[in-house]
Each structure stands twice: as C-alpha cells, then as structure tokens.
A and B are shown apart, each in its own frame.
Chain A
Amino acid sequence: MSDLPPYPPLDPTTYDLIIVGTGVPSPILAAAASSSGSSSVLHLDPNPFYGSHSASLSLPDLTSFLHSNSLSPPSPPPPSDTPDFLSVDLATRSLYSSVEIATFDSSILDERHSRKFNVDLCGPRVLFCADESINLMLRSGSNNYVEFKSVDASFVGDSSGELRSVPDSRAAIFKDKSLGLMEKKQLMKFFKLVQAHLAASSTERDEGVVKIAEEDMESPFVEFLAKMPLPPKIKSIILYGIAMVDYDQDNVEACGDLLKTKEGIARLALYITSIGRFSNALGALIYPIYGQGELPQAFCRRAAVKGCIYVLRMPITALLLDKASESVVVETGGYKGVRLATGQEIFSQKLILDPCITVGSESMSTLTDQQKETLRVLVPKSISSEGKIARGICIIRGSVKADISNALVVYPPKSLFPEQLAAIRVLQLGSGLAVCPADMHVLYFSTVCENDDQGKAALLSAMSTLIKPQVPENLQSDSAVENDTAEAAKPVVLWRALYVQAMVKGEFGGSISSAASPDGNLNYNEMVESAVKLYEQLMGSEELFKEETSLDNTTEEENDGGVEIEA
C-alpha cells in the first residue's frame, strides 16, 4: 500500500453513507442508496479492482489477493493525534486460511495466457434465472452492464467417476438415460405435485386444488420425499442436485441444516420457475460472461450513474468517534467518520464496512461502553461458529464431460467417501464465458466444512475423481503405459488453488454496519437477502430501487431481452 500514487483530496468530505469494500452485497446497497435520491454515497475499496471477495481476477492477482489476505495485516501507522475526534485504528482480518497454490504447467502463467483468465474468488457460483439477484438487476437497471450465458448441463456424480445428468425438467426426464421408466413417472409426478402446489398457492381459491398439507410443510423435507414415495436415487437428485442442500439430510445428528419441506419446496420452486423464464436460456442456471466479478461491477456502475462516488485503492485506517462520550448523539452512536490511508478525514451519517475490517480488542479496551456498543459489529467473533467454506480452483486442459463446456456437478454427501459430511459442488466454465483460454476450463469446487483439513480433503477427493492426477514432470516421458482408458480421458490439471474461506454474516449496528462475506451457497440469494434487510434497517423500511419503477413500465418482453443471454 506504500506505493499508492498520491490521490487528490476527496471533495466533498461529508456523505450520508460511506461503504468500504465492493464485494456483493455492498454494491447493491450503494446502487440502492444512490438511486433513492436522498442519499449521497461514497464507495471505497482498498483493492485496485471492483468486487473484493466476489471479484474475478487473473491468476497472479488472485494468488496475491489470497496470500495478502491470509497474512496478518500490516501494522497500522501510528495513531495520529486528532484534535476533534477519538480515532480507533482498524485492523484487517483474513477471511482465508490454508491457502495452497500449485502450478503444474508454468506456461499457464505466460503473458499470452494470463490476460485471458477471469477467475472467481467465491466460486462456484451461478444465478438462477428466477432468483432475487436477477430481479434486483432488472429493477435497478444494472442488467445493462452484464451479459449472461447458460450453464449447459448439471450432473450428479459419485466415486465411480460417472456423471448422471440431473433430470430437472420434463424434457430432461424424457431424455434421461439412467432413470427407469417408473422412476421417470415418479419424479414427474412429484414435480407436478410441486407445480400444482405452487399454482394453488398463488391463487385465492382453495377448493379442488392440490396442495401439500400444512403439517407436511413443517416436517423435514427428507421425510416428505420419503412419503412421496421416491426411490433413494431420485431423493438424492432432488435434495442435492436441484434444491442444492449442503448437509446430509438423512443423518439428523450431523446435519448442519435440516431442511423443512417449506424451504425445500421454495428451492424447487426457484429452480422450476427459473427454467424457461428467459426464452434464450437453456436451463435454470446462468453465469455472467467475464466472470462473477461483473456482477458487483454492474451494480457499482449503476450506483455511479446515480451519483455514487467511487475510489479504489483507498484503504481506511481508522474510525473517527465523537470525543465527548457524555454528549453522544443517539442516532450516530458517536460515529463521525473515517480516516483514509491518505490521511484525509471523511464524514458520514452511516458506515458499512467490508467483513474483513475489524477492531482489535486492545483498541477496544480504552473505550466507553457507549463507544463499544457503536463498534460492536466490528469485534471479531470466533470464526468457527460462523462456519467455513473450502474452495478450490483448477485450471484444466480438456473437459470433465465430453462435448459439454459449462456444467455443474454435485457430489451428494457420502457419494465420494463414507465420511463425506456435506455436498461438494463443482462448476466447470469454459472460454465461451471469457474466463479462460480456448482449450482450457476453469473448475470451481466448494463444500461447507467444520475445519480446514476436512474441507480440503473433501475437495481433493472430488478433484481426483474428475481430474487425472498430475504426473511429476520427470516421469511424464516414460510412463506412456496408459492401461486405464477412463483415466486417460480425464482432463489434466495445469494450475490449482485450495483455500478455506471464513463465513461472516452481515450485521446491522446502527451507524456502523458490517456487510456479509460470500456464503457457501451456489447462488446469491442469501447475500441479496442480507443486503435487502440491511438496507431496510439503514433507510427505514424504504424499498430497494423504489424510484426505479422500470418494472411497471417495461413489459415482460423487454425484461426478457434485458438480461442478455446468448443462445
């Protein structure tokens, strides 16, 4: 940070809202607040790129980001004396641990390749065509800045290496080759029940409609599925391949998150309504061209159009609190502003901070109770209580499935090895999405885990099932005996990153709030939800993008075109 080119001082110096960090969900808040017309917003990011933890980066940038964030932060500059305010120094905690990066083919880091990579920090992640993030994009108008493409197929895998396609629609069930005829019938019958239930729920009338019983809605989803009755194979596809559940639902003790039927049906509803929402999308899932990082960037652009001021490469070093603790104004809780790395002091009513910004406990010790209360969301909690996500990235030559470029693979719990606690999701993306060079694919892996070793072991197991183990370079020439043809057909790994990300929930804290870190889900739904909630708390009950009444005066047709999905 010492080689920062000198910035001119910011002007104005007072805002309604300062947001630090441009990872989802912050840009949504910035765009929403700017669009509301009544708030001036300053959006800062210490990094030289948009997106923070949800950015898409080149391989060297990704490597250095993971490393810099996993090292202990540089010691803050000595607290400078401020005559008017009490200054509280900020610390950066790392979200990442056990970062392990390996290059198996050094040519991948060549100049000619490096610019072709747009690798996500928080992969695997996609959008469901019907999910709330798409709705927000359409409502805010940020859909104009990003284009999507379909994820061509989704599969459920197991330790045998076989990938069975997920029969997620009528046409997919019809074409499926692994399901028996009776299984097709049962699965379709179940889908029809869900659809009838959804249709019945959306109408007022109660008589004569098929609906899932109220008591069933509160029971565990897995029990409901057992009642249907669906064979275990299909149950697993529904739970992990469509509802995208993480934990083993059959193991109640170890299950971190036992899904209720109500939530299960809601997830299926999201999936079902996603199929066919956009006529040019193939299935339920879409992915932004040039990577996930396009999404926060699109909201940032929208915010900028609406008057939000953006400054990148601008860390904040300290919080400024009201010195006179006795005369604390209740609304601000004593919060006044922030000190930038340039030394400039900027003031605001409210502040939203990136989840990795904290206050050390030693700096807290000198504060009054009132001030502690103001800063409470910045005090790091024990990370284990919030859960961890093991993530992996592999750059491969070839594809995990012939003729398919963009695909989702799910390994349900216990499918790879008996101790596998949670589902492992793998997303393969190709050059069609402008994330890597033409003959390669990027694979993203993730699973929720209790500790780093457990998570990484699970990911490595999935990797070894999908990818040929890397032969050390000195053995490559003479070990031409390829007796296992299945093994020979597997793609080769060129580059690999493994890391564990801590999960931090967003928290409203009055004048100072903390944004959420990326979560372990496949989509942005929970992150968007937290943004909406935070916005409501910050702005009263004001609705997001209320001023943008684009939904009312644009027809469905135009919305369809809005999210540009190429065939």
Chain B
Amino acid sequence: MHGRPRKAYKPEEEAASAAKAAKLRGLQSQFMANHHNKIYTKEAVDLSTKLLEINPEAYTAWNYRKLAVEDKLSRIESDPDLVKTILDEELRVVESALKQNFKSYGAWHHRKWVLSKGHSSVGNELRLLDQFQKLDTRNFHAWNYRRFVVELTKRSEQDELEYTDDMIGSDFSNYSAWHNRSVLLSSLLARKADGFLPNKKIPDEYKLVQNAIFTDEDDQSGWFYHLWLLDQTVNVETPLLTSSWPSHGSRISLYAGCSNGSFSKLTTFGSESGSFPLVLYFDQAVGGVSSSTVTIDSELKGNEDLVWEPVSKKNSQVSCVWVARLKYISSEPCFGKEYKVKVRVGNSPGIVSSRGFNFSASYEFVFTAHVHDTVEESSQEGIVSWTDGFDIWDAESKDLNALATLDRSNAQMDSKWRQEAIAEEIDLFRELPDSKIGKLTLARLLMAKAMISDDAVKGVHYNEILELYKDLMALDSSHYQYYKDEHSVALLRKVTSSTEDLSGHLFRCRNMNNSVCLRLNNLSLSRIASVEKLLFVQMLDLSHNELHSTEGLEAMQLLSCLNLSRNRIRSFSALDSLRHLKQLRVLDVSHNHIGEHSVDTTRYLCSSPLSNSEWPQDEVGSQMPSLATKYWDAYFVLRDLNLKQLDITGNVIAGDEFSSFVLQVVPKLVWLDGKKLEI
C-alpha cells in the first residue's frame, strides 16, 4: 500500500476505464432519481449496491442506504431475525466496497452506523479487521474503526495493547500501532490499572522503543513514540506553582509615585496608582485563580477582594501567569512601616489546569513590603540611556532570592524513576552520535535532566545541549530556525540556572532609581524563555539579538524599560504581548524590520482588523481613519501602552507620517527617536 509506483495506463485499460465511467454515470443518474423520489424497493437498493461496488466514494449512496434501512426497519415488527438480515446485508455491501477501496471514508462510516444500530455480531468485526490490518498494517481507517469496535465490544485495553505488540513486532514502521499504544497506555496509566504504574511501565516502554530506534534509526515512528515517552517522563499532570513576585522571604521597597531618589539595595517599586503587582507563575496554564483560591494575609488595607487576572490573550480564562494588584496607599497614612504579606495558593480547591488536573499541593509564601513615607517628585522626564549609568550588581543582594524558585523535585514525590529513566536514555543516545535525530533526542533528554536535577550539574548539561544544537544548525539547515530557538531556550536556561550565571548579566541603573537591569544583549537569541525566573527585572536589554516576537515577556509585570533594538521584529503585532505590561514606559524597537513586509491578513476574516465594530467608537480612529487603517497593527499595540519614550528609527515604517500617527495614539510620549517632543 506504500511506496508502490503508479503505472501508466495502457490503451486498453483506458478504454476499460472509459467504459466503466459510462456505466457509472448511467447508474448514478438512475440512483439519483430513486433517491429524490424516495424509492426504497429491492431493485432500487440493489442499484445503489451496484453503484457502491464500483464507486465506494459515492457518499450520497451511503446516505441513501441509511434512509432505506431506516425505512425497512420501520416496516418490520422488530423481528430480530429480519433486523439481522437487513443489517447483515449492509455489512456485506460495506465489505465489498472496502475491497474496492480500503480507504473509503463513506464505507467505514456506514459500517460504524450499522453497528451503532445494535447489530449483535460485533465479534466478527475484529476478525474482519485482523484481515484488513494484515493487508495494510498502517491504515488509519482500520485503526480508527478498531478503536470504535473495541469500545463497543468492551474488549480490554490490555488485550489491545498486546495486539499492538504483535503489530509492532511484525513491522515496527507502523505509526498507527505506536500511536494506538500511546493512547492505550495513557488510559491504563491514568486509571492505574493492575500492573500499570508509570515507574514500572514507562521504563519498559523505553526498552521496547530503543529496539526499534537502534534497529533502524531512519524510521521515524519509533522516534515519535520516544518523544511521547519523554513527555510522559518529564511532565507531571498536576499543575505546580513555579515562581512568584515578590518571592518567598523577599523584601520590597514601595514608593508612592515614580521615585528615583533612593539608593536602597532592595527592589524598589513605585507607581502612581499606589498598587504593586503580585505575580503567580504556574508550570502550565491554569484557570480558577481568584480571591477564594488564593488568600492574602496582610496589614495592607483594601486588599480583601483582590481581582486576579490571567495574563493571556483576550478572553482566555487560563494562563500560566496570573496577576493581582495589591494596594499599598490607602486613605489612612501608613507610611514608613513594614508589612508582612502572607500568600496562600490553593488553600481551597478551584485551580485547575487546562487538561483538567487540580492544583493540589497548596503553597504558602511570605514577603515583606517596606512602604516609604516620602513621596518623591515624579521626575522621570529625562531620556533613558542604555549605554551608561549602570552599576555592577552586588552579588550579596537578597533579591536573588527570586532565583530560588520553588523546587519542583520536592513536589514530585516519584521523581527518582524519572531521573533514572532519563539518565539511562542519555547514556544510550550518546552512542548515536552520527544521526541528527539522535543528537536532537539527546539534547531534549539533557534538557529534561537539567530540569529535574540538582543545580550543581546543570551548567555542564547546558553546555552540551548548546553544542548539540550548534551542530544541528550546521548539519540540518532546513530545520535551522527550530534548532536556533531551542538553542536560545537552552542558553536562557543556562543564564538563569544559578546566581553566579545570572549576576553576570545584572546591573543597577543609577538614573532609574537603582532599577534592576538585566542585559541579555548580543546573545543571538531568537526566542525568549525562563521568564519565570526573571519576574523581578525592571529594565531588560535584549538588543542585538534575533528575536521575532516578544512572546513570554508578558509575565514580567515590573518591566518599565525594554530595549529590543537590532532584532528581527517584523511588525507591531509581534509586540502584542507587551500590552500586558502596565509599567512599561520606555521601548526601543529601533533597527528592526517593521514595515518591510506587509502583514499577512489572510488569516483574519476581514482584510483589516480595524473594520470590526470596536473601531468607529475610537477617538483616534475617527480622527485619522486612513492612517489608523494603514498602521492598524501599531495602533492596536501602542494605544494600550503607556509609553514615555519610544525609539523607532531604522525601521521601514519610520517616517514623518508614522511619527505624527504615534503622537496621536500615544499622547503622553515625551521622547521619540531620541528627541524631546515639544508639546
């Protein structure tokens, strides 16, 4: 069924095919007449049989037969023998149609329909399937139908698992069989069937798939299964809290207004609104974070009914990142005091992952907020420079507590078998050095190991992973971007893996109230990762990289200055995630590719997203509709940002027209392209 070349037709074959077509057309017109006139006589039904035996793809004919069966069944007095005769005939027609075309959707569907009528001879179906699956072992129609029959006959999943053993044993190049195996195993493991414990079964499965991979590393079906196994090994179903800001045991300084006068070594934070963000970062998207599932215990007033918001795309109620804004300035004077804030996550049930698993390990963390009584003048009118005014980070700072993210391995009671399984796989795949997929799998395994092992050995892993991805980029140019992205992820994991690594990139910005600045410039990053460890960062320098998008940065709720100059941003849509950053004041996107390529609007329903209903009510849009339509992607992002400084030079889009548009959309802007705006 696979890899058989199609032969050119001989003249006599073409003649035969033409004759067949003529016959088929005749049958078809007669059949359609019967169908329209609702004729269900024996002759009429036989005609549809003939038609389907020649052309099993005639879907209308299958539907007609369903109507005919319903008609016949309504006439007879539920005589079981008669019902059986009628349905048996349908099964026979399907069988001969399948012999004509084994991949006929209509025929398989009709068979399912007949069986769902409560036909008693479902036992025959498995025998028939065995025959079909011998002829074409990979046919997904047959496998689909098999799952349907298995469910109907209540055949045990263990028996079906054994069937996949046989099929894989006779030819392991069978993605369908491996896939069915993963489905069956997932179910058996999930309901903890007898003898199906992950710590026993998953290592056995590794042994099985190793045989396939080492026998023929060019066959991809085994690799897919291996990837699934790795996923089962690394991922824990129950959602976990990965990190938070403020982190456990940390001290933060809070000012009213935008302050730049303090030289405290604590993370200082000021805002006009008198509130600060409380950020929770989960390892997978969850829903149900609310004031009832997360309780706050503090003397800070007015925070009884906190509103928790998912940091995600519009309307989505699940996210990895949840944020609430805690008030620290209330009507009562409470300055110059320290407040302990105790946060309890998952105290009462309700936090559920998008796959339906409950956040079960409740977690508590405490931080101290120091609220200053001096209200500083709002003085951030000067231009923010990315070149000077930076102090080297004091490694003693307690802020690096932020790096001590919640230890996953503690939450994972059964991590031992996972670590062992991955360690074994790593040893094995180091022996497949000449294969691309072998390198990639090794890199993935090492990454998995780094995630679940002690900090001390992580650096070594990351260096090996980075080397592997470098090799792959050189070896396999067609998947270059994928390897590049994975390389970036590994590099960021490495940078954030230890205090020593990270402090080399951290600075204090003198001009910015000693803000915490992270400089990750010139690292040829193409993707952002490890954001959960960077929640405390207030200034971020990502210039001179290869970023296409800011996805991931939305979690960095403290971010006030972002340098994206000299990257590969192609449109303002790629900056969409920045809309969640309420503190962002300074943005540098100079020397990117914005405006070079027109935005692909084919995936939208209308040619310009601005033609939707939201648009005409907007003030700017109504003032300058042509520009808003032209720069709609910039408009959508910039109108939600509260920028004071924007650098856009070096992009194709930049120019007088765009500048005047920006001034309209961002009226509070003070600095544009390094020039102070005269207001």
Contacts and interface: CB of A to CB of B under 8 A. Distances in A.
Interface in A9-50: none
B170 A181 contact: no
Contact of A181 (B169, B172, B210): B210
Contacts of B211: 174-175, 181, 184
A182 B172 contact: no
A414 interface: no
B170 A182 contact: no
Interface in B187-246: 210-212, 214-217
A285 interface: no
Interface in A319-361: none
B181 to A, nearest CB: 14
Given A181-B211, A184-B211, A174 B169 contact: yes
B431 A174 contact: no
A184 B219 CA distance: 14
Nearest to A187: B215
B212 to A, nearest CB: 6
Contacts of B210: 181
A176 to B, nearest CB: 8
B431 A188 contact: no
A178 to B, nearest CB: 12
Nearest to B219: A170
Given A171-B169, A171-B170, A171-B172, A182 B215 contact: no
B431 A173 contact: no
A185 interface: yes
B: interface residue count bin = 10 to 19
B428 interface: yes
Interface in B140-178: 168-172
A175 B169 contact: yes
Nearest to A183: B214
Interface string A173-198: 11100000110110010000000000
Interface residues of A, number: 10
Contact of A185 (B168, B169, B217): B217
Contacts of A182: 214, 431
B216 A170 contact: yes
A188 B431 CA distance: 16
A181 B428 contact: yes
B217 A174 contact: no
**Most-contacted residue by chain B among A174, A182, A184 (CB, 10 A):** A174
Interface centre among B211, B212, B215 (most CB of A within 10 A): B215
A182 B170 CA distance: 21
Contacts of B428: 181
A24 to B, nearest CB: 34
B376 to A, nearest CB: 67
A188 B211 CA distance: 11
Nearest to B170: A171
B138 to A, nearest CB: 14
Contacts of A170: 171-172, 215-216
A188 B216 contact: yes
Contacts of B168: 174
Nearest to B211: A174
Contact of A171 (B171, B214, B431, B432): B171
Nearest to A280: B134
A166 to B, nearest CB: 15
A173 B214 CA distance: 10
Interface centre among B168, B210, B211, B212 (most CB of A within 10 A): B211
A547 to B, nearest CB: 26
Contacts of A175: 169, 211
Interface string B29-63: 00000000000000000000000000000000000
Given A170-B216, A182-B431, 8 more contacts: A171-B171, A174-B168, A175-B169, A181-B214, A181-B428, A182-B214, A185-B214, A185-B432
Interface of A: 170-171, 173-175, 181-182, 184-185, 188
Top 4 nearest A-B pairs (CB, nearest first) are A181-B214, A185-B214, A174-B215, A173-B215
10 contacts: A170-B216, A173-B215, A174-B216, A175-B211, A181-B214, A182-B214, A184-B211, A184-B214, A185-B215, A185-B217
